[in-house]
Structure 1
């Protein structure tokens, strides 16, 4: 299918946050952060809304024109993040925005941040969401394709953390490879960091 994609702006902030909430509310990681379903329903949108804010501030959001899907990207330079950089305080911002007494809100970001590659600059797929009624139709692949094609042309790698084995298999089809160092959430699920080397391009 052909997906019409535009770049999201500040006016799309709440709609994108709602989409993330709907797409990830039953995700293993979200269920671990907020074990009680009623509490999760109340705070999950605020939790993931911080990701939307960061992408609008520091990166880009590719958004399906019909609101069915969104991909949040950050361009991460090589080297350790500088003290005070926006990426550094994201875990604390997520906890403060959603559930200040819940340390799991912050722990997810601390644990994934500890294994985030720093040797090479890369495109970081912070999150990708497809509305529940549209999942399984290839929208996520279509949404990622323009950025991945650009990465291949420019020789830029890409990175993400898969939150389920199912999503990891989908990413593998697009060239991502598991780094070999899973993130184990305490008494919770695994997350799979994945790295994508630029793929050879075929000359027209």
Structure 2
């Protein structure tokens, strides 16, 4: 319609490598493709070139986050698979359940050992709560710490109190120092807004 825009914000969408099989474009590669299309289309319409803005938020904060779970029961079903239960799941990361998001993980306290144990990592919620359907881990046992990578984007924003689970703490780690930046929720946080109507109170 001949309207010249001073700025064109293309939003986000730049992916990250959640697994070793993912090969997302770099920021430069994405910008090159968009800029080429923008220059071609504006020239064809006789329009000026607007300032191009991209929002690569996930590519910045996604790889910066790691979720740590404590391993609970490890159950082997002969001829089927081995299940590894952790102390979180659907409430702190609903992405695998919502749209099949995939992640990689290691047993943090055994990181230097070979990954020889194929397992399914399951959360502790009442619905189908599968964090990682199939992955080879180090020989995992109850009490180990499972580190799931690339959880810096969306996970905390999408976390909930599903099944009345308190949300975990968030810790900032840099240069060998750690600081709590979001406190862990407790029972008092879960019931803070609960009210019993006077007509039901005894």
Question: TM range, normalised to the smaller chain?
Answer: under 0.3
Q: Which has the higher strand share?
A: 2
With structure 2 as the length reference, what TM-score do the two structures score?
A: 0.23
Give the structure with higher Rg (CA). Answer: 2
More helix by share: 1
